[in-house]
Amino acid sequence: MEKNTGSETKKMNGGGGFRAKLEHVLYSGEKKHVVAGIAVISVVFGVPWYFMTRGSKQQSHQDYLEKADKARSARLSAGSSSAK
């Protein structure tokens, strides 16, 4: 009977080498792995946030209330003129 080599064992187990490396990176707690994890999470959440806030300028609460009042009065005046 032949003895299995390391590469043949990996093939039979479905390539466990990648999973072992991934688990080592996730659970090692090494400083470089922690920094890399923080960087990945920052990119995953930072890129969508950047694209969502890219075109809009920040409004104060007062600006928002004034805009809402204008829209409300325009809606009410349009409703009262169509009722006549």
Report the alpha-carbon distance of residue 56 to residue 49 in Å, rounded. Answer: 12
Structure tokens at 4: 């299995």
**Mean predicted confidence (pLDDT) in 15-20:** 83
Q: Are 17 and 10 in contact (CB under 8 A)?
A: yes
What mean pLDDT is reported for the chain? Answer: 81
Residue 83 pLDDT exceeds 80: no
Q: What pLDDT is stored for residue 78 in this prediction? A: 81
Residues near 64 by Cβ (< 8 Å), separated by ≥ 6?
none
Q: Tens of pLDDT along 50-61?
A: 988 887 677 788
Q: Are 43 and 37 in contact (CB under 8 A)?
A: no
**Mean predicted confidence (pLDDT) in 16-30:** 91
Extents of the domains making up the chain: 19-78
